[in-house]
Amino acid sequence: MVEKLSDGQRETALRGLDGWVYDATSGAIARAFKFKDFSEAFAFMTRVALAAEKAGHHPDWSNTYNSVTISLSTHDAGGLSARDIALAQAIDKLLA
Amino acid sequence: MVEKLSDGQRETALRGLDGWVYDATSGAIARAFKFKDFSEAFAFMTRVALAAEKAGHHPDWSNTYNSVTISLSTHDAGGLSARDIALAQAIDKLLA
């Protein structure tokens, strides 16, 4: 059972991420990404899918043409957990 | 410039599709899909992405684990066009 981060843990973790915003209502962090076109957006999504499957932790996400929005939370923890931070870090790394 | 379907054209076209629902507010058709797990859901999304890129017409879509929701409309036509019907047919065919 993975534990929900405390407010302090969450704030510290968010400072280490690039552009992820916490939404208190959903208990999730989200980030929007823009690419040149659909092909580039979906190539990114494929890499995120592989990272998610490897982590055994999956995003809620949507795509419209060159835009991708990714939301991360941990249902079992009732909010944000270390698994979300780890996946967000892996996603940020894809774009570094 | 691709033309918006008339009400009659839309209704006829929808009868030939499998499970797509028209939303008058958004002017889009949508269908929800369920798979065994994320891997199967994303494999389907990859095939849809290829079909969309081939058609030069792209979906608004979202995924949460084994669920995929696809919405189709044609911005340039201000609603539903023959391009949406053709892409919906191609997607249905992937699952036939």
Q: What is the Cα–Cα distance from A55 to A74, expressed in whole angstroms?
A: 13
Give the predicted TM-score (pTM) of the model: 0.96
> Is the Cβ pair A53, B39 closer than 8 Å?
yes
> Is the Cβ pair B63, A65 closer than 8 Å?
no
Q: Alpha helix (H) ranges present in chain A?
A: 7-15, 38-55, 82-95
Structure tokens at B66: 């084994």
pLDDT for the residue B90? 97
Closest CA to A2 of A85, A88, A92: A85
Which member of A38, A42, A61 has the closest CB to residue B62? Answer: A61
The reply to whether ipTM tops 0.90 is yes
Domain annotation for chain B: domains and CATH numbers: 7-95 (3.30.1360.20)
Reported as a pLDDT band with limits 50, 70 and 90, residue B27 is very high
Window 17-36 of B, Cβ < 8 Å to A = none
**Which residue in B44, B54, B64, B69 has the most chain A C-beta atoms within 10 A of its own C-beta, making it the best mutation to test that interface?**
B64
Which member of B46, B58, B61 has the closest CB to residue A62? Answer: B61
Q: What is the pLDDT along chain A (96 residues), one digit of tens a residue?
A: 799 999 999 999 999 999 999 999 999 999 999 999 999 999 999 999 999 999 999 999 999 999 999 999 999 999 999 999 999 999 999 998
**Contacts of A48-53 spanning 24+ positions with Cβ under 8 A:** A48/A91, A48/A94, A49/B38, A49/B42, A51/A87, A51/A90, A51/A91, A51/A94, A52/A87, A52/B38, A53/B38, A53/B39, A53/B42
- Whether A2 and A73 have beta carbons less than 8 Å apart is answered as no
> Is the Cβ pair B38, A53 closer than 8 Å?
yes
Statement: residue B1 has pLDDT above 80: no
> Is the Cβ pair A63, B60 closer than 8 Å?
yes
Q: Which residues of A touch B58 (CB under 8 A)?
A: 38, 64-65
